């Protein structure tokens, strides 16, 4: 196997045993990028020079015995984190030339842990989308089938990992933007509890829903990355001062005697039969691991999509007001007055999906509509959260499909936003409730497309979540396939 | 018909915290443009606000001083609008859950006291400043002020005239400055006021259509603008017209108000709870500590001065104009035990010297101890009141103690009866005509003898002693 195909923990073993060097690992990843990036287009910015320098520095540290938890590991970042001195576009024309003056907290943490940053990955513009097709920088292809989308909005991070263009990556999840592309690209994707990983430096889409998380090749790697990125940050008011356990310590514990909830509302018409069959099989695997599966109900599930498409655009309409052409980002030339400058800059800078959501959100917050939309949605959101609280009183974790279908074709849903929105139907609830969720590969369709199963747990129960996912992974023995590129 | 004005005021006061409300940048006024900034107050992508607790504390001090009910929990909201001085495209303010409500302050006008209600007090961030190039069609933005903490104090529509409005503002201003939470500098914009004004027939309970007045940067301008606007609305109504609901700008030079934007162009601010901030919890323990540390407020102090020092209300008003002046006065009284005389000296010479140089009491070269010592010298008869004038002037110029000045200038009053008797005997001997006139009953001539005695002693003689000796010696003759 090539170095670029290994997991973080496998590479750590090799590095520690001096079987390889960070420079070799990084070189392997960049050779792979050179080979497949033209087909996949996972990156917006490739940070080759700094990465090679970081790898050399990492080798020095390893030699001195000062290696950190990620020393010498090539990791890709979704282009939504501010990186000091490195362009950060959020997939948008309006930020196409924006270079942040500071590093996001997670970027600081990755650097401190010794990671080699490979580059900034493609994404739906401002994380608004489920296919990575709304990026100003072009479409990212699914490495399993280049005719298909990788999912979104963190499609670049998922595709880069699946294609071997990094060893792990980070994404952000507002309604499923980590778990959905993870499922569609056949990798592990974790969305932590709201408040668990600092949002400082994450360009905001919907502030009450956004959360940062890892894409990895297996569950153990997710635990490794969580150990680095989780934790309280005084720079974020919604960050929670909850102690960070060693997530790796949960992995081997198994789920014997656990109760796993299967929500009846998640096996609905519209779910692809192959996906349903794979997830039903996953239920059997979990039972085989010693857990008892019981049906649970999350009665307000049907409102999730509606609530999400009021709350998220409302917050986005305000969060994206700062892109006005005054201080940074795109400014349209030759405007006669201020209003024209705003209109021309924003019209040229934002793509159609972003505009649609700004309009939706502006409307939902407008005088006379606020109570009917935003306020009502906030009330229903509280009920959705309560559904989970009640369910978790009866079970240790919940198992659902991650997505209703496997990866769809490029262009298939771009003309029909509602159909596009439906691809997040099983993931949105976790964001509304603020709970953690993980997608783990659970098989392939006949056409060879990956399928994911989702586990959900209560607030700050990432340890339990990883415990369940690891047990499933061990018992399911999903074949470690590689996409052929 | 006789109309009655109905006025409500919105005051924005900049708080004197070291750091801005949501980041660590300095709040100092007057730095080079965009030097007191960071990614957070610049509204860079990805940044998040963290509330400065000192801002809450300062807001609570004002809420307690204005008798507000303090809510156990309050939250922040976003006020959305586009303007180049607002880098995030929204201002973080408070809307549905304000921290303080239902307060009041007392204002006094022509000896009558009246309560003006405070609807609410809330915290928010200030915006930046635009600077328009005079010669080119270019504007610049300075974001140093962005994120400087403000409290907004909204009054009930309880104010019934321009003069009353000015009195209310002066009271608020005085309280803010007393609490040391705002420097009150209106020119630099630390204390700003918008006014809502409408007219209604006297005796009516209904409200008329109101206009909002902006751009008044002094107490005088608030009063002038309101006077103008009340007349303008009265003219409109008397002419059978209707007042239009709009925002009007005060033009200081023209002395008029003019329409800035109508109701149709009014912003829809799309307030909603700021998801980046968590609710602020204000517990009883915090309030108890603040109540304990709350300083005496101007009105209370004024009343205590009248009561404790037996000085006129007018004097108490002057002496409590600032906390520092009141403290100065009280120290002088403590050291000399003469409240009325101390009041006269502080209000007289001390304030006059300071005013001439536009200085504050904290810069006064005469310490309370020196002033008290001087008052004691007068009481003891060491110097005369007239000499004291010279002494105080010298104290102010040199900062020296009064005893030292008296010695340097040789100002010590002659209180030696024997020496003075000799001088007086000489004067009597030299002026037989006047002595005869006096003895014939022409008492006016007494003044002549006093003058002669003063002249002979170069004004250093104790006037009372001269009087006594003259009377005695003229009678003896």
pLDDT, mean of residues A87-100: 97
The nearest alpha carbon in chain B to A203 belongs to B46
Give me the percent of chain B exceeding a pLDDT of 90: 68
pLDDT of residue B477: 58
In A221-240, the residues whose Cβ lies within 8 Å of chain B are 234-238
**Are residues B387 and B319 part of one domain?**
yes
Clarify whether residues B397 and B347 are in a common domain: yes
- CATH code, domain with B450: 1.10.10.410
Residues of B with CB under 8 A from a CB of A: 39, 42-51, 78, 80, 82, 84, 87-90, 141, 268, 270-272, 275-278
Examine the domain organization and report whether B372 and B462 are in the same domain: no
Residues from chain A contacting residue B47 (CB–CB below 8 Å): 200-201
Are A338 and B84 inside 8 Å of each other by CB?
A: yes
Residues of A annotated as catalytic (active site), given as ranges: 78, 153, 177
Contact yes or no for B84 and A322 at CB 8 A: no
Which of B374, B389, B409 terminates a domain? The answer is B409
- Burial (0-12, 13-18, 19+ Cβ within 10 Å), B331: middle
Residues of A in contact with B51 (CB under 8 A): 237
- pLDDT for residue B424: 85
Q: Rounded to a whole number, what is the largest CA-CA distance in chain B?
A: 101
Question: Do B51 and B19 share a structural domain?
Answer: yes
This prediction has a pTM of 0.91
pLDDT category, B380, cuts 50, 70, 90?
Answer: confident
Which of A324, A368, A375 to mutate: most B Cβ within 10 Å?
A: A324
Mean predicted confidence (pLDDT) in B134-162: 94
Rounded to whole angstroms, the Cα distance separating A91 from A93 reads 7
Q: How far is B147 from chain A (nearest CA, A)?
A: 15
Q: Which of A98, A234, A322 sits opposite B88 (nearest CB)?
A: A322
Give pLDDT tens digits for B438-454.
888 888 888 888 888 88
Q: How many CB atoms lie within 10 A of CB B228?
A: 19
Tell me the pLDDT of chain B averaged across its residues.
Answer: 92
What is the least distance, in Å, from the CA of A34 to any CA of chain B?
31
- Using CB atoms, which residue from B49, B90, B272 is nearest to A374? B272
In chain B, the percentage of residues whose pLDDT exceeds 70 is 99
Is B87 in Cβ contact with A201 (below 8 Å)? Answer: no
Q: Is residue B67 part of a domain?
A: yes
Could A100 and B90 be called an inter-chain contact, meaning their C-beta atoms sit closer than 8 Å?
A: no
B14 and B154 co-located in one domain: yes
Each residue of A166-216: pLDDT tens digit?
A: 999 999 999 999 999 999 999 999 999 999 999 999 999 999 999 999 999
Q: Domain for residue B282, yes or no?
A: yes
Number of domains comprising chain B: 3
- Gap between the Cα atoms of B127 and B150, Å rounded: 10
Asked whether residue B427 is domain-assigned, the answer is: yes
Are both B309 and B264 inside the same structural domain?
Answer: no
Boundaries of domain holding B55: 3-286
Kindly state the tokens that stand for A215: 């894409």
CA separation for the pair A73, A22 (Å, rounded)? 7
- B409, B438, B455 - which closes a domain: B409
Report ipTM (2 d.p.): 0.96
Share of chain A above pLDDT 70, in %: 100
- On whether residue B291 sits in a domain, the answer given is no
**Mutate which of A321, A336, A341, A370 to disrupt the B interface (most B C-beta within 10 Å)?**
A321
What token pair was written down for B53? 């607790």
A175 touches chain B (CB under 8 A): no
**Mean pLDDT, residues A457-472 taken together:** 98
Give chain B's end-to-end CA distance (angstroms, integer).
Answer: 80
Does B42 contact A327 at a Cβ distance shorter than 8 Å? yes
The whole-number average pLDDT for the span A98-120 is 97
B381 plus B424 within the same structural domain: no
Last residue of a domain, one of B379, B409, B439: B409
Residue B462 covered by a domain: yes
CA distance A348 to chain B (A): 17
Please compute, for residue B121, the number of CA atoms within 13 A of its CA located in the half-sphere on the CB side.
Answer: 31
Angle at B318 between CA B316 and CA B324, to 5 degrees: 95
For A324, which of B82, B271, B276 is closest by C-beta distance? Answer: B82
Quote the minimal CA–CA distance from A343 to chain B in Å.
Answer: 11
Contacts of A90 in chain B (CB under 8 A): 45
Between CA B13 and CA B355 the distance in angstroms is 26
Q: Tell if the CB–CB gap between A238 and B90 is shorter than 8 Å.
A: no
> Confidence band (pLDDT; 50, 70, 90) for A133?
very high
Shortest distance, CA A480 to any CA of chain B (angstroms)? 37
- Give the residue from chain B lying closest to A370, CA to CA: B270
Which domains does chain A possess?
3-250 (3.90.1300.10), 303-377 (no CATH)
Do the Cβ atoms of B59 and B166 come closer than 8 Å? no
Q: What average pLDDT score do residues B63-85 get?
A: 97
Query: Do B44 and B99 lie in a common domain?
Result: yes
């Amino acid at each position: 196997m090539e170095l670029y195909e290994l997991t973080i923990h496998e590479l750590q073993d090799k590095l520690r045993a001096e079987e390889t060097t960070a420079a070799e690992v990084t070189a392997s990843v960049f050779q792979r990028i050179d080979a497949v990036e033209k087909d996949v287009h996972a990156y917006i910015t490739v940070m080759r020079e700094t990465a090679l320098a970081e790898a050399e520095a990492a080798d020095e540290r390893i030699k001195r015995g000062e290696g950190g938890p990620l020393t010498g590991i090539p990791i890709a970042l979704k282009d939504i984190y501010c990186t000091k001195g490195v362009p950060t576009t959020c997939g948008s024309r309006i930020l196409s030339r924006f270079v942040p003056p500071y590093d996001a907290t997670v970027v600081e943490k990755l650097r401190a842990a010794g990671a080699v940053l490979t580059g900034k990955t493609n994404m739906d513009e401002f994380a608004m989308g489920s296919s990575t097709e709304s990026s100003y920088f072009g479409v990212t292809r699914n490495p399993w089938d280049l005719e298909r989308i990788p999912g979104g909005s963190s499609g670049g991070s998922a595709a880069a990992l699946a294609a071997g263009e990094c060893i792990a990556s980070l994404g952000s999840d507002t309604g499923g933007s980590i778990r959905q592309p993870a499922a569609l690209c056949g990798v592990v994707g974790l969305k932590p509890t709201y408040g668990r990983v600092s949002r400082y430096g994450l360009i905001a889409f919907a502030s009450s829903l956004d959360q940062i998380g890892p894409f990895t090749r297996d569950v153990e790697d997710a635990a490794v990355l969580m150990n680095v990125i989780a934790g309280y940050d005084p720079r974020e008011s919604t960050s929670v001062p909850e102690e960070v356990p060693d997530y790796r310590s949960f992995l081997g514990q198994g789920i014997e005697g656990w109760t796993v909830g299967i929500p009846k509302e998640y096996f609905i018409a519209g779910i692809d039969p192959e996906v349903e069959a794979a997830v039903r099989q996953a239920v059997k695997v979990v039972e085989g691991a010693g857990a008892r599966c019981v049906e649970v109900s999350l009665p307000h599930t049907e409102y999730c999509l509606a609530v999400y498409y009021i709350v998220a655009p409302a917050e986005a309409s305000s969060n994206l007001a700062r892109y006005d052409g005054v201080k940074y980002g795109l400014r349209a030339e030759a405007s006669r007055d201020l209003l024209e400058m705003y209109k021309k800059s924003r019209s040229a800078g934002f793509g159609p999906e972003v505009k649609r959501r700004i309009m939706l959100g502006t409307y939902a917050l407008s005088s006379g509509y606020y109570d009917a939309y935003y306020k009502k949605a906030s009330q229903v959101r509280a009920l959705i959260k309560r559904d989970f609280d009640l369910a978790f009183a009866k079970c240790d974790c919940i198992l659902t499909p991650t997505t209703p279908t496997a990866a769809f074709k490029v262009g298939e849903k771009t003309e029909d936003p509602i159909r596009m929105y439906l691809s997040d139907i099983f993931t949105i609830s976790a964001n509304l409730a603020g709970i953690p969720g993980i997608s783990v590969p659970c098989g392939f369709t006949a056409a060879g497309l990956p399928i994911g199963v989702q586990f959900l747990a209560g607030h700050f129960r990432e340890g339990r979540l990883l415990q369940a996912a690891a047990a499933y992974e061990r018992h399911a023995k999903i074949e470690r396939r590689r996409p052929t590129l | 018909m006789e109309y009655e004005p109905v006025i409500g005021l919105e005051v924005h006061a900049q708080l004197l915290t070291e750091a801005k409300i949501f980041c660590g940048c300095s709040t100092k006024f007057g730095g080079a443009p965009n030097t007191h900034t960071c990614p957070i107050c610049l509204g860079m992508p990805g940044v998040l606000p963290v509330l400065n607790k000192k801002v809450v504390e300062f807001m609570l001090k004002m809420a307690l001083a204005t008798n507000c009910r303090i809510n156990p929990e309050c939250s922040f909201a976003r006020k959305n609008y586009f303007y180049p001085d607002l880098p995030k495209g929204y201002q973080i303010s408070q809307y549905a859950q304000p921290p303080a409500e239902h307060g009041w302050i007392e204002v006094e006008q022509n000896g009558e006291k009246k309560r003006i209600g405070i609807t609410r007090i809330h915290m928010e961030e200030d915006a930046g400043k635009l600077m328009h190039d005079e010669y080119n069609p270019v504007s610049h933005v300075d974001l140093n002020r962005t994120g400087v903490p403000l409290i907004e104090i909204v009054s009930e529509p309880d104010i019934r005239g321009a003069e009353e409005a000015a009195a209310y503002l002066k009271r608020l201003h005085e309280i803010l400055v007393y609490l040391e939470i705002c420097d009150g500098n209106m020119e630099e914009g630390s204390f700003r006021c918008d006014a809502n004004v409408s007219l209604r027939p006297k005796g009516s309970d209904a409200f008329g259509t109101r206009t909002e007045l902006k751009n008044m940067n002094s107490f005088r301008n608030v009063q002038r603008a309101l006077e103008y606007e009340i007349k303008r609305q009265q003219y409109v109504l008397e002419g059978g017209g209707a007042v239009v609901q709009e925002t009007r700008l005060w033009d200081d030079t023209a002395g008029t108000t003019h329409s800035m934007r109508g109701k149709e162009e009014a912003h829809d601010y799309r307030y909603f709870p700021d998801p980046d901030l968590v609710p602020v919890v204000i517990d009883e323990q915090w309030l108890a500590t603040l109540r304990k540390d709350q300083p005496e407020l101007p009105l209370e102090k004024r009343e205590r001065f009248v009561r404790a020092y037996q000085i006129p209300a007018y004097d108490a008003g002057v002496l409590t104009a600032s906390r520092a002046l009141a403290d100065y006065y009280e120290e002088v009284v403590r050291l000399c035990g003469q409240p009325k005389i101390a009041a006269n000296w502080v209000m007289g010479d001390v304030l006059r010297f300071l005013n001439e140089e536009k200085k504050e009491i904290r810069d006064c070269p005469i310490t309370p101890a020196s002033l008290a010592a001087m008052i004691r010298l007068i009481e003891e008869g060491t110097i005369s009141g007239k000499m004291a004038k010279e002494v105080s002037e010298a104290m102010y110029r040199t900062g020296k103690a009064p005893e030292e000045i008296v010695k340097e200038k040789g100002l010590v009053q002659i209180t030696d009866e024997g020496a003075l008797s000799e001088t007086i005997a000489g004067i009597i001997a030299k002026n037989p005509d006047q002595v005869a006139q006096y003895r014939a009953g022409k008492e006016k001539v007494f003044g002549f003898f006093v003058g002669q005695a003063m002249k002979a002693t170069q004004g250093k003689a104790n006037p009372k002693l001269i009087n006594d000796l003259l009377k005695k010696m003229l009678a003896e003759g």
